[in-house]
Amino acid sequence: MKKSVFTMIMFFVALSLSAQQKVVGGDISMLPKYEAANVVYKDANGNKISDLIAYFHQEAGFNTARVRLFVNPTNATGVVQDLDYVLALSKRIKAAGMKLMLDFHYSDTWADPSNQWTPAAWTSLSETQLQQRIYDYTKDVLTQMVEADASPDYIQTGNEISYGMCWGPNGTKTYYCYYDKDNNWARFIGLLQQAGKACREVCPDAKIIIHTERTNNWGGTQKIYNRLATVDYDIIGLSYYPEWHNNLNSLISILGNLHTYFPDKQVMIVETGYYNNWYPSNATYNLTSTWPASAAGQKKFLDDLVAAVKDLDYMQGILYWFPEENPYQNRVYEPWYNHGLFNPDTGRVVDALFSLKALNDTATAVETLLQKTQPDPDAPVYTLDGRLVGNPDNLPAGMYIQDGRKLIKR
């Protein structure tokens, strides 16, 4: 009987843990360029890592990798990911057993809060034509990915689009969107609706992410997602870099507000990172007293971030930006961004790489789950041998399972 009870408890525990599996991974868009330059990645003992994707998955606990896509890349620093490049890398990610997040930039170069330029080939299109082009382009890309066995599991329709996207030709802000002004929002919403339509048609099981970065500004963030209420998407995606977005107390406040005001949406940190050497002089917030700009500070930052969000049910997970950065004896990416998870002096992996997998620490998750005594009161109740029972208010004293958790009636 004891064995049967334990087996049944663990069955429900396993079901709950499966549902709670967090996204753990990183944006590894530059990896093929490092590989083409024969850059050496080493493990903690100095041994060469032959397959970094497999290492991320098997050793660092990555279950998801993110790849950015540009329309016609300008070959600026880091802007090299055209469709052929993305297809090849994405096939490797999927073959390694990881999920894939595709990050549409809808631009020829970096798309972020300061740069959202319309692709050069699209600048002469009317608004109606541009909406059709967004739809056609998104659908064509996704169709080719599906046919190549590289179907994305998560799709960002735009990158850090806090102020809209496709503002006009490079250097212009004709279609910039302000929080408190109505100008250009209908156009922006139309573009997102067309992109999302293509996603649902070609990849109906993929989760659509709307990605912003006003993570230190609740008022602005709330207004953005209020305005996007008619857009079809699943996940609120955030960038969180403490030098621009403040400390963890500020982040947790934003996350809690998002869950309160947008309870039908999950939340994910799709970009984060920290410095392993120097700290930027133009940072908005100097947090080096909490997290020094060092390998140890980098690890402490990720350990603290994981601890802060791990038990938030609505938090889908965390992706680290540019973990593959490795300036050891090469000049693949200049200037040195200083966020990578490899020692710039030795090429060896640093301890911070292994911090994120604690999001899915099974032992801790089981302990946390079994300690919870306040399950969803409307969920079905089962006996320990798996029999469905009636009204939980009238149960005799004993132990039961409700909502995958231990329920004790006294």
Strand partners, 210: 236
| Closest by CA position to 370, among listed 332, 410, 407 | 407
The catalytic site residues sit at 160, 271
Distances from the Cα of 406 to the Cα of 2, 14, 102, 366, 390, angstroms? 16, 13, 39, 11, 16
Instruction: Report CA-CA distances (Å) from 213 to 20, 225, 227, 242, 398.
Output: 25, 12, 16, 12, 49
* DSSP conformation class of 388: B
C-alpha pair distances (Å), 162 with each of 173, 178, 191, 259, 348:
13, 9, 14, 18, 36
Residues 269 and 319: beta-carbon distance below 8 Å: yes
- Determine how many CB atoms are found less than 10 A away from the CB of residue 251: 21
**Rounded distance, CA 155 to CA 152, Å?**
7
Encoded amino acid at 158, one letter: G
